[in-house]
Amino acid sequence: MVRLERLRAGHAPALLAFERENREYFARSVPDRGDAYFAGFAARHAALLAEQEAGVCHFHVVLDEHGELVGRVNLVDVADGAAELGYRVAGRAAGRGVATAAVRQVCRPAAGPYRLVELRAVTTLDNPASRAVLERTGFVLAGEAEPAGRPGVRYLRRLTDADRPDGAGAAG
């Protein structure tokens, strides 16, 4: 079982360790963040918290049953009731349903306190695991895309009352 927590200042050390430990793994499917990301991590983390406070983005860490950080799920570019979903899971946790569980969980605050009605996501064609996560969690194919200049696809998911924390249950 995984638990989602809204990003806070105290997550910084574990989040930096997570990003460092998984840098090579992530670079296989998404563009590398670059050395500057790691060198300026403290300032970047503070900037993320400021964006979150302003309501422009909603950042989350994913913790495993032992409380260890094994992923992150972010809702960025919040505007007009919609946001872009992004997620990454540690290599050691891949293939265990962590991403699927985390995406399902983030739909609850998205439809509830964040007041979103739609989530968008983009992935590359050569990332079947990410496509499977999106499809298992209720996202529908919405067209072509070119994330980081690579062939990809766009997905959409309308949030419903069932996604709300006080709703009848999670959709997807």
Distances (CA, A) of 37 to 69, 120, 171: 19, 25, 35
pLDDT score, position 166: 74
Q: Bridge-partner residues for 82, per DSSP? A: 79, 118
| Domain presence at residue 48 | yes
The parent domain of residue 143 ranges over: 3-163
| Domain presence at residue 28 | yes
| Domain presence at residue 170 | no
Distances (CA, A) of 43 to 23, 39, 47, 50: 19, 9, 6, 11
| Domain presence at residue 172 | no
How high does pLDDT run on average in the chain? Answer: 92
| Mean of pLDDT values over 81-97 | 95
This prediction's pTM: 0.90
Tell me which residue of 90, 78, 99 sits closest to 172, measured CA to CA: 99
| Domain presence at residue 116 | yes
